[in-house]
Amino acid sequence: MFEIKDVTHDVAAKFFKNDPKLAYLGCADDVLVELYHSESYSPNELSQLKGIYYDNRLIMLFKYEPFSQVAYNCHFYLSSSLHGTGIFNEVVKELKAWMKKEHPQITKILVMSPSSCIHVPAVVGKYGFIKEGHLTNAMIWRQQLVDLLIYSLEI
């Protein structure tokens, strides 16, 4: 149903620039500055980027990096035009199958989110993620010190 393939940083930058609502919801301030002032997107050197395509249209970016020998820290960036449609559930199913095939050592994916991002708990709770915990005052988000929430999903 979906095609999962590598995307370049330029493709990711264009995806975010064409969807400012998504960029604001999902990108930290320093990433937004880079995106809109330098017109580039460069995740850290450990990050891998995949594009999720439906009918040859990029609908989601999936960024992941190692957290441990058996877990990846993941970020999902679904086009804001598809929020609330239920398509995320289908994408997660396919990503889990892809992860089992491409990265068989990975048994868990993590999602870490600033506590002020109220959309994350609402979404991950619907799709089988469980809250593992939080770190108090562990990050800066929108120039405020906030807690870091940690969710996981078994692969």
pLDDT digits (tens, 9 = 90+) for 58-97: 999 999 999 999 999 999 999 999 998 989 999 999 999 9
* CATH number for region 3-154: 3.40.630.30
Rounded to two decimals, the pTM is 0.91
Of 36, 38, 48, the C-alpha closest to 8 is 48
Mean pLDDT for the chain overall: 94
Q: In the chain, where are the structural domains located?
A: 3-154
Q: Which region, left, alpha or beta, applies to residue 56 given φ > 0 means left and ψ of -120 to 50 means alpha?
A: left
Which comes out higher in pLDDT, residue 63 or 38?
63
The contacts of residue 20 (CB under 8 Å, 6+ apart) are: none
pLDDT band at 121 (very low <50, low <70, confident <90, very high): confident
pLDDT score recorded for residue 1: 84
Alpha-carbon Rg for the chain in angstroms: 15
The span from the CA of 32 to the CA of 112, in Å, is 18
The span from the CA of 54 to the CA of 91, in Å, is 10
pLDDT score recorded for residue 5: 96
For 17, the enclosing helix (H) or strand (E) is: helix 9-17
pLDDT band at 98 (very low <50, low <70, confident <90, very high): very high
Q: Flag whether pLDDT at 48 surpasses 90.
A: yes
Burial of 26: CB neighbours in 10 Å, binned 0-12, 13-18, 19+:
buried
